[in-house]
Chains A and B, each alone.
Chain A
């Protein structure tokens, strides 16, 4: 027997307004300000509304669009376009009823619960979520500077840097040499430099360019190492050379005019140098007593509340949340847990301590990928890994690639739609 249209509509309406279908929102009021509209900040705004729709949420983010880092290596390798990386905030703000203030936050008055904008404007909050991402240590390598990055792009923040590196890379002559330098961990997207090398080699293979790609790594091991090295051997024999810090010594200087980098034990020249500078938490966190000596923000791993300033939460790349890596997925999962924690704390409830996940796919070429996936839990107030693993050695890398593209579509649906 089929349901009559009227009965179906009346039941649908009841379901839509039932507490269970709405996720039983918390009836809590308060003002929450979120600084930064990347994966962490945008997700936090959306899930704050879902958890407690009466909250007054303001996103402080100067940009109109967000340009995603995941996928940017595919732009450099010529099989994705910049517009595929762009995500705007309009749908989010309309659907999840928060305000997008297009300003730059410059300082925080913790005891006074106020955030000051570059324009002089100020916002009051009951709880503040800081998700500012990373800054680069421009002066960590003699010969390199912020100014130089305008012609020698790092492309480790997506946007004009990605376009510039793509242009420089795609116009290399056959037989050219490329150097990618990798900073000492922790840095955002730990498998990213090795994916970049893989996709550059894929481009070289496709266009028969015979490029040689060297990775000068400040570290002695890297994420998904065995899988990457096996793929390089099978897909791109002789094209990618990984040189760990223990063999070359650390970077000592860069001579842009001669396209040369010097290390403690050696020197390397290339037609294209892609120097990825070391990172630390962004300035707003550093200038407002949210960072410690590591340059990152220590937080309680359940509530993400700063251990240095009450009522201020830090999520995403700026937060010190090892063993979670600094990734888009980590930021997304931390933001949801933080949104529930903030709403719970405003309702005088304990924040729930539920497992967090990180998943990260790396493309080897347009049709093959590998992945890492981990679940994190808590023990005596500390975050620890409950399960973790990479693609099995005999795993289906074409299936992983299909999942990687699916992940890309779905995480943006979760964050920005």
Chain B
């Protein structure tokens, strides 16, 4: 009788194994891909690679690392310092902002 729950446990484990093994085999994404994925949403407003096609929205590709951080901190601290950027900047933490600035600076 005590064997039956054990068999059930074993079957459950076996059923979970393929998915678990696949996830275990996967590597962490390369840092560059993570940074790219972090920055890509910005291009929807600022144009591909941050190269704006409109005077209504500033370019990102002309910023340097420190200017980018300075602007993002200002957006985070002053709700009237921009149009939509104060609302967006507050959704990112400091390490994410630093990685974004690194992406723009290096690319």
Interface centre among A344, A396, A405, A417 (most CB of B within 10 A): A344
Number of A interface residues in the complex (CB < 8 A): 56
Which residue of the partner chain, among B30, B46, B53, B57, contacts A26 with CB atoms under 8 Å? B30
Q: Which of the 9-residue segments B5-13, B21-29, B63-71 touches chain A?
A: B21-29
Grouping DSSP codes into helix (H, G, I), strand (E, B) and loop, the A interface class, with mixed when no group exceeds half, is: mixed
With contacts defined as CB atoms under 8 Å apart, how many contacts are there between chain A and chain B in the complex? 150
Q: A387 near B83 (CB under 8 angstroms)?
A: no
- For residue A374, CB closer than 8 A to chain B, the reply is yes
- For residue A47, CB closer than 8 A to chain B, the reply is yes
Number of contact residues on B: which range applies?
Answer: 35 or more
Residues of A within 8 A of B55 (CB): 402, 406
CB distance from B64 to the nearest CB of A (A): 15
- For residue B20, CB closer than 8 A to chain A, the reply is no
Q: Which of the 9-residue segments A5-13, A119-127, A329-337 touches chain B?
A: A329-337
Q: A388 near B30 (CB under 8 angstroms)?
A: no
Q: With A333-B40, A348-B26, A386-B91 known to touch, is A373 a contact of B84 (CB < 8 Å)? A: yes
CB distance from A379 to the nearest CB of B (A): 13
Residue of A nearest to B34 (CB): A352
- For residue B14, CB closer than 8 A to chain A, the reply is no
Q: B57 near A407 (CB under 8 angstroms)?
A: yes
Q: Which of the 9-residue segments A181-189, A227-235, A408-416 touches chain B?
A: A408-416
Contact digits for B26-39, partner A, Cβ 8 Å, 1 yes 0 no: 11111011101110
Docked CA distance A389–B96 (Å): 20
Residue of A nearest to B28 (CB): A350
Residues of B within 8 A of A47 (CB): 40
Residues of B within 8 A of A274 (CB): none
- For residue A354, CB closer than 8 A to chain B, the reply is yes
Residues of A within 8 A of B40 (CB): 47, 333, 336-337, 340
Docked CA distance A404–B92 (Å): 23
Q: B41 near A410 (CB under 8 angstroms)?
A: no
Report A's interface with B, CB cutoff 8 A. 19-21, 23-24, 26, 47, 51, 329, 332-333, 336-337, 340, 343-345, 347-352, 354-357, 359, 371, 373-377, 386-389, 391-392, 395-396, 399-400, 402-407, 409-411, 413-414, 417
